[in-house]
Structures are given as structure tokens and as C-alpha cells.
A and B are shown apart, each in its own frame.
Chain A
Amino acid sequence: MNTYVFDSSTKKNIFTAFGIGVLLLVLGIFTFNGGQSSNHDAHHESEKHATAKADNRDAAAEGHGHEAPTVKTALIANSHNALYFFFYIALGAIFFLAATNIAWGGWQIQIQKIPLAMATTIIFFLVGLCIVFALFNHDLFHWTHESLYAKGTATFDEVLNIKSDFLNMKTFWAFTIVISISCALMVIKFWNTFSKLDTNPTRQLFSSSRVISAVSIVVISFLINTFATWLWSMSIQPHWYSTMFTWNTMAGACVTTLSIIILFIHYLKAKGYLPQVNDNHIHDVAKLMFAISIFWCYTWFAQYMLIWYANIPEETEYFRLRRDFDNYGVLFHGSWVLNFVIPFFILMTRNAKRSVNITIFCAIVIILGQYAAFFLMNCPPLLPKGGFGLISFGLLLIFGSIFVYLTLMMLAKVKDLTSSTHPYVKESYNHHI
């Protein structure tokens, strides 16, 4: 019983979730009103006719600023956000593999096929993101409009003109392609090495798994994580930037990845797999979940406070768009409660970290909270007056079920679910804390 079998009842559940997602999406499309009141439209029109550069900033901060967000904008923004969210979860899975292997980790050996399977889904989400970027880059990214760079015209934007040395389509696609290729290479390398370790474990393979981990850490931190967040997410609001943004994204991704790993462990254990995985392994994953949710809160708060404290008015645009209670205030503060307050107080004790129900509850809370946090990073510039609703939940379920389906499909291809031939597996069997 060391190979996972993707049974039909699980498939049926995933299809049901997918169906509910489609239903919510369709409902959301028909009930979409852009969160817009007619009052706001009038205000917006007057703003549009003002030609000062200051207004240009304002319009840019609110997306394109020319019209009320349409269903199309909402769909594009939400799809991009959901794809980006799951792309980052898969990236977090690669990071988990790399970080635990480079640290001579022993405890995770039995469960490391779960992040390995999760990591392989990154290819699907990268393709999805590239399609969105190719087809809808003008809808997503304000800075792609040529008219912003025509000197002497009313639409000329000096700030973006300065930034255009970096923020242009050539750089964008160059980095997108490099990131996609390096993600695919890392996944393939990890998959091949661990598959070979299952069938024919050698010392040389073991050390090469550590070399891949070391390279992956560098590639993830200096290439993928930085440039993916800058170009794919932060540039949606191109006038604003923050050095904490990348940290915050990666922390959010890691804590979501760990939550999903916990859910997969509980699922597999309920199905009778992973016989030697016990409370101690759950405790370790939950400990990381607890720690990284605190780290997420730290970066989230630091990003906010640095701008608040340093009196940089042009940087407050980001929070004016997200914190005010007439647009995303509830979501903004709610995501903090979901991502920090609830996990912090619930997962604090040792017994909570070892309990099945409590870890499942916290994992679900964190996944929802991080989805909201990712939505707040990506969507408010395009949907300035609110828009987190049925479309977002529908797309979360749709891409979530695709993610789970692909993960379990790849997990079924793994020959040795518990890596029972890995040199450190004994350490994992005897793990005791």
C-alpha cells in the first residue's frame, strides 16, 4: 500500500467542487454590478477631464480610470489572481522541498511526495498566467499603454516614463519566459531525482538532490520570487512600490502551501496511506504554519507601517485603495484576522498542533485568508469599488479543484509514496518531539 490510487469517489468530489465553482462563477457574472454607484460615476467623469499630472496618478491608481469596471475586467482580474495564487502555492511547494532538503531535514521524508506532486502543477498555472498576459495585458497592466510614454501629450506619465527602462514589454516577457523555464526545470529535476531515489537509491543521487535544492533556493529567492511579484503583481499598480511586497507574497505562499500539505496528509491518512506519519509530523508542519503566519503578519504590518510612519504621501495610495471601509476595508482587516489572529491563538498550544480537527480548521482559515490577501494585492486597482464575491470564490473553487486533481494525479504516479528507500527515512519513522 505504498502507491497512491486515485479512486473514483475522490474524483467525484473534485468534479463536484469544480461544478460548484462554475455555478458560483456564472451566478457571479450575472449578478455583477461593479460595486459602482451612479454618484461615483459622476465624480469619476469630472476627474477624467482634468488634465493635470496629479490626476493621472489618481486614475492610474484606480486602474484605467476611464470607465466603470466591467464583468470582463472582473473576470480577468480574478482569473489572474487565482492563477497567480496557485502558481505561488506550487512555488511554495518547491521552496518547501528545497528548504527541508538543504537543511538535512529528516522528518519530512515520508511526506515529501506531497509537495513534490503539488510542485508539478506549477506548469499548468504558468501556462494559464502566460495566456492571460498574452491576451489581456492591456486590461491587466496600466503601464502597457503606449500613450503614457508620448511626450507632450495629456496622457504622458513622467513617473512611468522613468520606470519604463525596467517596466516595459520586452523586460516583462524576457523575465516571464526565464521564470517559466526555470520553474519547469526545477520541477523536472526534483521529480526525476526523487523518482530515481525511489527505485535505485545511491549516494550520488542523494547529494544531487541537495545540489538541486541549493540552486533552487537561490533561483526562487533572487529570480522567481522577486521578478514574478514585481512584474506580475506589483506592476498592476505601477506608480506604487514596496520592498516588503515580495516578502509578504512569499510568506503568504509558504503558509498556504503548508496548510494544503496538512490537508493532504489528513486526507491520505484517512484513506489509509502514510501509516508511519503520526502526531509528531503533523506537529512539525503545524509549527511551521504557526511560525510563517506570524512572519506573514510581520511583513504585512511592516509594509503598512513603513509607509504610514515615513510620511510618504504618494505611497499611501495603495492603502487608500484597500483600507477604506467603502471599498475593501472589511476584507483588508479581515484578512489580518484570518491569517494571523485566528491561527496565532488557536495553534499556540502543543495539543492544538497535534489535533486533526484543529489543524484542518486552521488550514482552511489560512487558505481563505491568504486568498483574500492575494486578492487585495492584485485586484483593487482594477476593481476599485469592491468586487470580492461570487466570481472570486467560483474561480478559487475551479482552479482549486484543478490544482487538487493535478496534484493527486501526479501523486498516483509516484511509485513510493513514503520514500521508504530514502537514506533519511529512518529518521522520519523515529521522529519524536
Chain B
Amino acid sequence: MSDTKKYLVGIFDDDDVLMHAVKDIRKAGYEITDAYTPFPVHGLEHALGLESTRLHTAGFFFAATGFTVALSMITFINMFNYPTDFGGKPYWGLLAYIPITFEHTVLYSAIGMTVSFYYLCKLWPGKTPKIIDERTTDHLFALTFELDGSKDASYINTVSELLKKEGAIEVYQKEV
């Protein structure tokens, strides 16, 4: 793969230590790229300063699409394409359309959000996942720092020292 990136990785074995490390490192002015944990750590996303997801905004628009599609399609069929008299009720019986419109709204937002979520996480069938450290899926925690061209050796040294001081059990560089 050509689009690999180089990372400085700090491995921790305790979530409390990790939380303190994240807070201290960010206070010292170093940007953490991401954290990998075997289970959700409460409050870690705030400590990392991650932007909150905009997935729900997308969900709203998917829902609005589903709503519009369902309502306009039923309207088209029942009023213009194939008008049918159901017990003398009006052709445009909005009440009867509400359950189907609701289901469509939910369906579109659910499928749309699932697909967008996979897209945002760069997951799709047949994709080989990039794993920083396999042990983060089991019992260890990892903090990563992306090493692009602007990061020199002194940066790597200071961050490594800082990580070790904060309680990292391992610090290494890895290209994935």
C-alpha cells in the first residue's frame, strides 16, 4: 500500500493512567492523533478534544429524504397514477400515509447513517483493516502521534520521554 502513515505509538496498560497521560500531553502542547482502547473509556473523547460527530446531521437529511420520497410517491400513486376508492375516504388520505411515511423515514435514516458510518470509518467489505497494535483489541491501550514530514527527531524524542514519564509501558514507531 502506498498511502501508509508513520506513527509514534505509546502503549499503556491502565485506563486511568491513559486518561492522565492524555490530559498532561495535551497540556504540554502536543497533538494526539488518536487513541485505541479495548473498551469505551468514559470521557476519553472529551480529554482527546475530538470534534463531536456530525453523523446525526447526516441522519436528519437522510430522514428528510425518506419522508419526502414516501409521501410524494404515495401521493403520486393514490392521486394520479391509480386512484382507488377505499370506503369513500379521500384519495389523499394523509392519515393512512403517516405510518408508511414514518417507516420510510426510519429506514432511510438507518441505512443512510450505517453506510455513512462505514464510509467515515473507512470500512467496507474486503478491506484489510489497519491495526496499530493487535493487543489494543484485547487488554492494552495505545496513543498514536502521526509523524509527517514536519516532525523531526527532537519531537520524537521529547514525546517519547513524555510518554514514558506518564507511564507508557512501551514506546515505538510503526508504519501502517
Contact = CB atoms under 8 A, between A and B. Distances in A.
B62 to A, nearest CB: 15
Which of A301, A304, A305, A309: most chain B Cβ within 10 A? Answer: A309
B42 A304 contact: no
A51 B102 CA distance: 46
Contacts of B96: 305, 308-309
A311 B87 contact: yes
Contacts of B99: 305
A53 interface: no
13 contacts: A301-B98, A304-B95, A305-B95, A305-B96, A305-B98, A305-B99, A308-B95, A308-B96, A309-B95, A309-B96, A311-B87, A432-B42, A432-B43
SS of A interface (majority):
helix
A311 B96 CA distance: 12
Contacts of A301: 98
B101 to A, nearest CB: 12
Contacts of B42: 432
A304 B98 CA distance: 12
B42 to A, nearest CB: 7
Given A301-B98, A309-B96, A432-B42, 10 more contacts: A304-B95, A305-B95, A305-B96, A305-B98, A305-B99, A308-B95, A308-B96, A309-B95, A311-B87, A432-B43
B152 to A, nearest CB: 39
Which 5 A-B residue pairs are closest in the complex by CB-CB distance? A311-B87, A305-B95, A308-B95, A309-B96, A301-B98
Interface string B49-92: 00000000000000000000000000000000000000100000
B145 to A, nearest CB: 28
Interface residues of A, number: 7
B126 to A, nearest CB: 36
B12 to A, nearest CB: 22
B97 to A, nearest CB: 10
A301 B99 CA distance: 10
Interface in B77-136: 87, 95-96, 98-99
Interface string A304-315: 110011010000
A306 to B, nearest CB: 10
Interface in A411-433: 432
Contacts of A304: 95
Contacts of A305: 95-96, 98-99
Interface in A138-188: none
Interface string A285-315: 0000000000000000100110011010000
Contacts of A309: 95-96
Contacts of B87: 311
Interface string B13-44: 00000000000000000000000000000110
A271 B42 CA distance: 32
Nearest to A298: B102
Nearest to A311: B87
A311 B43 CA distance: 54
B63 to A, nearest CB: 11
A2 B42 CA distance: 30
A304 B42 CA distance: 44
B171 to A, nearest CB: 31
Contacts of B43: 432
Nearest to B52: A350
A308 B93 CA distance: 10
B122 to A, nearest CB: 26
A107 to B, nearest CB: 14
A363 B171 CA distance: 53
Nearest to B43: A432
A305 B98 CA distance: 9
